[in-house]
Amino acid sequence: MRPILWGIIVLVLSAIGWVISVVLNVVTLGSLRWVSNMFGIIALFSIPASVIWEIIRKKRVRPGD
């Protein structure tokens, strides 16, 4: 599967996790803030990382292949 698709999948999953963790954050009065931050950072870097991965993948493929 293409790296950009993996990036989109990770973005969607981390966005869902972020929404759930924000709800838990409100319920627990902020004690699970680190979980929200973790999902947010994963969502933030998933698309740029997959774009870089795609560029590296295209550069490594030989023209004859």
Of residues 55, 52, 54, 40, the one with CA closest to residue 10: 40
Predicted confidence (pLDDT) per residue in 11-31, tens digit: 999 999 999 999 989 998 888
- Domain boundaries along the sequence of the chain: 3-59
Give the model's confidence band at 63: pLDDT under 50 very low, under 70 low, under 90 confident, else very high.
low
Query: What is the rounded distance in angstroms from the CA atom of residue 3 to the CA atom of residue 7?
Result: 6
- This prediction's pTM: 0.74
